Amino acid sequence: MTELERACESFRILMEEQQARIAKMQAEKVDFSKKDTVTIGLVDGDGIGPLIMNQAVKVLETLLADEIAAGKIILKRIEGLTIENRLAKNQPVPTEVLAEIKTCDVLLKGPTTTPMGGKMESANVTLRRELDLYANVRPVSIPGEGIDWMFYRENTEGEYVLGSRGVELPGMAVDFKVTTDAGTRRIARAAFDYARQNGKNRVSIVTKANIMKKTDGKFTAICHEVAAEYPEISVDDWYIDIMTANLVNPAIRNQFQVMVMPNLYGDIITDEAAQIQGGVGTAGSANIGDRYAMFEAIHGSAPRMLEEGLGDYANPSSILKAEAMLLRHICRGAAAEKLENALENCKTVVTGDRSGATGAQFTEDLMMLL
C-alpha cells in the first residue's frame, strides 16, 4: 500500500465511524425532578484541581447537608483521573475511572492537564464524547454593563471529534472537521430552549460559513430550521472573526444574548468572553448531555501556580460557578440561587498571587453568606 492509499483507507474508516455515531445519538433526557436519588461524582483532576475542588466540596456539603443526610444526594469521590495515572495507563480516561464515572448522574470536575504533542487525547474531550455531553454551556455576565451572555458551544463534534486522528502524508498533514445534522439540531434546540425558558428574545449563530462551506454551512442552515420552531425569538448570524470584535465593542456588545456555535469557535470565544468578565478564573462551564452532565471550571490546571508555590491562592470562583450550574441542572434551584447570590456578594478578592486572599479564605467568607 502506498502512503496515499493508507491515508485514504484511514479516512474511510473514520467516515464509517462517524456515520455509526449518528445512529447512536438519540438518548432520553433524565428528569431530575422525578429522581429519588442523585449521585454527584467528584473528580479532582490535576494541578490546582484538588485544591479548588476541596473548596467546592465544602460548599456542596453545606448546601446539600440535609439531602445528603437523608440519602437523597450521594457524593461520590472518584480517584485516578490524574495525569500520572493517565500516562501510566496510556489512556486519556482510564477504563476503571470511566466505569466509576458512569455510575454517577452528574460530575463536578477539576481541570485536567492535557499532555502536549504525542497522541494522547485530552481527558475532557474523551469524557465529552464518552458521555455524549453535546452542549457546552458558558454564561458570562457583567451586570454593571448590562452584559448577560449565554454561550451554547457544540461540544462533541466539529474540529474536536477527530482532532487526535488526523492523517499525515509526506510533507503535509490533514485534520478533519465533522458536522452532523443530528448533532447540530440538538445543540440548536438546547440554545433556543434556553432562550425560550429564560425570556431571551435573540439567538445569534456564530460560524465561519463563508470559508467552511460544508460543515459551517450545514450548521447555519440547521440552526435556521430549528429557529423556525421558535417564532418569538429573533435570529441572526455572524462570522466568528467579527463576533470576536463585537464582544470588545462597548457600543453593541450588551445587545447579544444567546450565542450558538460549533466547537472550536466556542472554545476560543468563551475564553475571550470570560476574560472580559474578569478572567478565565471567573467563568463556570457546563457540559450537558441527555443522560450525563459534567460541570467544571473553564480554566486549566495551572501547573505554574504549583511550581511557584501559589496553590493556596488558586481562585475557586470558576468551579463554584460551575457548581451552581450543577445544582440548577439537578433541580436544586434554591441551593443554586444561594450560591449564586453569595458569589455575587462576596467581597473577598482572590488574585492568584500573594497579594490576594487564599482560596480557603475566600470560601470561608463565601460560606458566611450562604
Torsion of CA 206, 208, 209, 212, to 10 degrees: -140
Residue number with CB closer to ligand IPM (38 or 131): 131
Which residues neighbour 55 within 8 Å (Cβ) at sequence distance 6 or greater?
A: 316, 319, 320, 359, 360, 362, 363
Of residues 113 through 132, those in contact with ligand IPM by CB under 6 A are: 114, 122, 124-125
- Interaction between residue 318 and ligand IPM (CB under 6 A): no
Please state the closest distance from residue 88 (CB atom) to ligand IPM, in A.
20
Q: How far is the CB of 48 from ligand IPM (least distance, A)?
A: 14
For helices 317-329 and 49-63, the axis angle rounded to 10 degrees is 40
C-alpha cell at 158: 466539529
CB of 128 to ligand IPM, least distance (A): 8
Cα(126)–Cα(122) distance, rounded to whole angstroms? Answer: 6
- Cβ(367)–Cβ(62) under 8 Å? yes
Size of site (CB under 6 A) for ligand IPM:
5
What phi and psi values does residue 313 have, to the nearest 5 degrees?
-95, 5
- Residue 39 or 122: which CB sits closer to ligand IPM? 122
> Which of ligand IPM, Mg ion, none sits in contact with 125, Cβ below 5 to 8 A by type?
ligand IPM
358, three cell numbers: 487564599
Which of the choices ligand IPM, Mg ion, none does residue 317 contact, using the CB cut-off of 5 to 8 A by kind? none
Q: Pick from 350, 293, 277, 285: which is nearest to 321 by CA?
A: 285
**Restricting to residues 257-276, which ones interact with ligand IPM according to CB under 6 A?**
267
Q: Does 315 bind ligand IPM (CB under 6 A)?
A: no
Q: How far is the CB of 104 from ligand IPM (least distance, A)?
A: 20
Q: Which of positions 52-81 make contact with Mg ion (CB under 5 A)?
A: none
Cell 462533541 sits on residue: 156
Residues lying near ligand IPM in the complex (CB under 6 A): 114, 122, 124-125, 267
